[in-house]
Structure 1
Amino acid sequence: MAHNMTDDIIEEAEVWFSLFRDGTGTYEQRQRFTAWYETDVLHQQAYAQVSFAHQEGFDFTDLLASLPETRSHTPSEPSAGLWQGLWEKVTVSPALASTAAALILLAVVSVLSFGADPEYREYRTTTAETNELLLDDGTKVTLGAKSILLVEDFTDSKRRVILASGEALFDVAHDKARPFTVASDGTEITVLGTRFNVNKAEKRLQVALLDGLVEVRSGLEDSILPSFLQKKEGALTLRPEQSVTVRGGNLEPVQAIERDTIATWVEGRLTYKQTPLRDVVADMQRYMDHPIRVADGALMNLPVTATFQVVDVETVLENFSHILPIEVRKTSTGGYILRRAW
């Protein structure tokens, strides 16, 4: 799994986008794309960036077609099998092969950062960093570690942001005429004015409500994804001290949650009560640069009850074997592997 966006990832995303834009693609190619897209959050971000670039009129394939002496180019990647049968639909000039991703990134940066009236403003945090934001409508957002938030230009009828990754606590300014919507991976949380936390990890989104009411709609059609990856819709309403988790586009049953366990990360603490290990690890990973890998699927749903400071995340991880039936091994590169001890 990659840990930083690279030209190769952007280039792969462009190839997948070009393949499925006209609704084509074989069953095998769809399976390969699904595996690629779900393997890494960076793949999801790259695909979204490429989609946004095309929506703003940047047509990568038209640019390539206008250049002389184009020919099929296959990236010199170890995973060459992934590309077999894809590049026949996209021609790349040898001179552009090494700069294709850079051109896409330039278009995306122009859309997101340098336009006179950009469609999105991007806010992001790094490892263990948090950031407090005040949006144009008075809404306060605390952005958690390793998180990305895209803010659309608010209109007279709507306010909408996209949590691309990570976690955020929203204290929404009341405005009856303009509902506030947080979108993430085909799920939307809509409110008029309230306070709630959203935590996004790989294949999982959790919403926990502190005050007010929120509507959570999942499985919405996501225009950036091919139709075969879009989910069926479901909806529910959360009340204070309730939470809901979305996995794979499906809403799980609403759970009661203690108020003093919601968004404790804002105060520098992580709090868990019977929380699956996979969710705990996903949170801890945002406070560490080195990867954490759960080597045994049987451990994923192991319940964890613990409270600790975010500055102690690595120490707590190293001592997991004292509170859980697992073995923690540190690799030569600084990462961690978790295995069951039975």
Structure 2
Amino acid sequence: MSKAQLKSPKQVASTSAVVGARINTKIGRKLVTGTGRFLDDIVLPGMLHARFVRSPHAHARILNIDTSKAMDIPGVELVWTAEDIDPYVLPFSHPENAKHLGFVDEEVLASDRVRYVGDEVAIVLAKDRNTAIEAADAVEIEYEKLPAVIDAESALLDSATVIHPHLSSDPKNPINGNLIYAGKTVGGDTKTALSNADVVVEATFTNNKTNPSPLEPHGCIADWNNGSQKLTIWASTQVPHRLPELIATAVVDLDPTNIICKISDVGGGFGAKVGRYSHHVATCVLSMYTGKPVKMFLDRIEEMQAGRGRYDETMNGRLALSKEGKMLALDIDMLQNTGAY
């Protein structure tokens, strides 16, 4: 395309019904007037508040957990560790890992070791959010620090610490050390196109891990009705129709047809709210156990630590071109760091 054929931004705007035009969205008015109703605006009678105790270490063995000081704080209902919650939950994984790779690697609360800064170790339930935060800070945990793996390249070294040794040694799981997947996606004869191209451009790109950091962090409210045996949840999620099924696979004796999922306004997601997280499962179990509604709303630090987001990756790409500038083929080698789970 010649330079004369290219339109300037002003030319594009003048011929577009969208660019440069005022757009009235369905939710715009209530957002600018402050009348939106988000998850943390929902208050149910008798509602309790939950808070995770998170790991300060990237990799460590859990030696001892002392919850006595937290339990002595007025207004604290309970403090649970993995030993307490495990009878009510099942191991789970990212939906696509479980579906395509056939393994599960996550616990609601870490039982023997933590695998990233922010990993969930214990959970506190209290009369209000401030009390829950105070009690979570009072839980004392003794750790034995282990060598950490912080990037994909070092994770693949023979000398690297294996993050999930129990899975790596299990012949049923397709995991080799810290490598969970290696494969190819091929379309067309890329090799021939690269060999015959007039020009081949090669470059390496590195993307850091990113977190979309939505204005509203992750959160969930669960309300179990013992009479109807129904669980109603409100969640800041992008998948309200899928979330009941995902939660039910991680909670013992909970059928997805008995879960009612509601959403209020969602303050952003950007792909980070398409799955099931520990806070979804934990709030549901605690509500079923206590018979009271339970809310957990992550703060900004928790969102950055445990809200996941886009993986960091290194891509080496080769682009085949004709002398006229036509793209003929693209070959990419990608190494992706999917994190601890």
Same fold (TM over 0.5): no
The structure richer in strand per residue is 1
With the shorter chain as reference, the TM-score category is under 0.3
**Which structure has the bigger radius of gyration?**
2
Q: Which structure ranks higher in relative contact order (CA pairs < 8 Å, sequence separation ≥ 6)? A: 2
The TM-score normalised by the length of structure 1 is 0.19
The structure richer in helix per residue is 1
